[in-house]
Amino acid sequence: MDNKEKLDMFCYQCSQTAKGTGCTIRGVCGKEATVARLQDNLLLATKGMAAYLYHARELGYTDTEIDAFLEKAFYSTFTNVNFDVEEFVRLAIEAGKMNVKTMKLLKKAHIETYGEPEPTQVHTGTVKGHGIIVTGHGLKALEVLLKQTEGTGINVYTHSELLPAHGYPGIKKYKHLIGNLGKAWFDQKKLFSKYPVAILGTSNCVLIPKEDYRERMFTTGPAHLPGVQHITGYDYTPVIEKAKSLPELEDEQGEGILTTGFSKSAILSLKDKIKQLVLAGKIRRFFLVGGCDSPLKKAEYFREFVKQLPQDTIVLTLACGKFRFNDLNLGDIDGIPRLLDLGQCNDSIVAIEIAETLAELFGVGINQLPLTLVLSWMEQKAVAILWSLLAIGVKGIYLGPILPAWVNDDILKVLIENYDLRLIGNPEEDIKRMLGS
């Protein structure tokens, strides 16, 4: 969309709103468009944090400092409270820092509950028998379902962002957790129509179902869909009964085997070897390529980008953006896999901690590491993560597939001048620029 076609802002949260429909150029209250957009940005980042906090709380982990920040952030967007552009930039940075704390909290909750992930191979086919596909991000829902289906003969499959669940010892121990089906969240209509199984949606990134599988789909936790039975609490009996009533799946070989579960410990156990390989010139650069995938055509960039990277580079990945390229066989560098899946989007904290440790190991700052971040964004968790990365001082991030729509020229100027944020362009040219060749 041409900039001129964009609304300058949109706010209809109070009765003064222009023409009774919405302030779109400047608030009747005097709020400037950039302030309105920075308020939206802050709300989007806090929504992302809320999702992580929800899953941490499910496992019994909370943090009063983060809760207090959320109150402050929401209140600052209230009518006639805060009209200060600079304060909203500062609040966005604070949101980034609080999101680091939030991601640490969730990681602690996951590790203390299910153990630290370990590199694990995951099948992508089906095994004869009744089945349930679990989608979303809810490790707790998945683990409880696995416990409740043990010994029933029902096989459980993950979809999309639940792939990393296979790396957790407390989850992979269930032998009837068979594998991962499909790719990123937006293939679910096709995938769920294809397999005659019960389906459980555990979090965000569930789509309004097609009629042909609506009655065999269920939601739990924060997810709700029209005409779909919602399970309150963790008794998944209706899902299990539905799975038993459906035809059995046949044995079907998948397209390949995926490897996930590269935790902080797994990677840092290799740190001396990594240092040697970097100093010997065998590893030229690390790339963190991932984030939230979107169905936009332009997101094909990420597969092309990874395909074109030279052999002396390592790709760290996380979130569902990995499904753009995690079927590629990138090989290894002296035994270190060239593709390392760190987990879900909240495992950005693992990437941050690995980068911090490598920076210490090489005696440099994060921005001096041979590391480039190439991130895709789709929704509000990615906004929180972007601000986390900016808050810890990461510069020169490449972002795609598009510039967030709430960013206007003023905000873009700040992002470029202060953080050297770049938009993805052409994979070949971007790689040349990143490698300085």
Q: Which residues of this protein are in contact with ligand SF4, per CB under 6 A?
A: 11-14, 16-17, 23, 27-29, 31, 79, 137, 160-161, 184-185, 204-205, 292-293, 319-320, 345, 378-379, 381
Minimum Å gap between C-beta 53 and ligand SF4 is 14
* 313 versus 380: smaller Cβ distance to ligand SF4: 380
- CB-nearer residue toward ligand SF4: 131 or 343: 343
Question: Which residue's Cβ lies closest to ligand SF4?
Answer: 27
The distance of closest approach from Cβ of residue 292 to ligand SF4 in the complex, given in angstroms and rounded to an integer, is 3
Choose between 29 and 127: whose C-beta lies nearer to ligand SF4.
29
Angle at 104 between CA 102 and CA 110, to 5 degrees: 105
Give the nearest distance from C-beta 202 to ligand SF4 in angstroms. Answer: 11
CB of 240 to ligand SF4, least distance (A): 25
Nearer to ligand SF4, 85 or 270 (CB): 85
Q: Least distance (Å) from ligand SF4 to the CB of residue 196?
A: 24
Minimum gap (Å) between residue 293 Cβ and ligand SF4: 6
Least distance to ligand SF4, CB of residue 50, Å: 12
By beta-carbon proximity to ligand SF4, the closer residue of 26 and 104 is 26
- Minimum CB distance to ligand SF4, residue 178 (Å): 20
- Closer residue to ligand SF4 (CB): 292 or 352: 292
31 versus 422: smaller Cβ distance to ligand SF4: 31
Which of residues 312 and 410 has its CB atom nearest to ligand SF4 in the complex?
A: 410
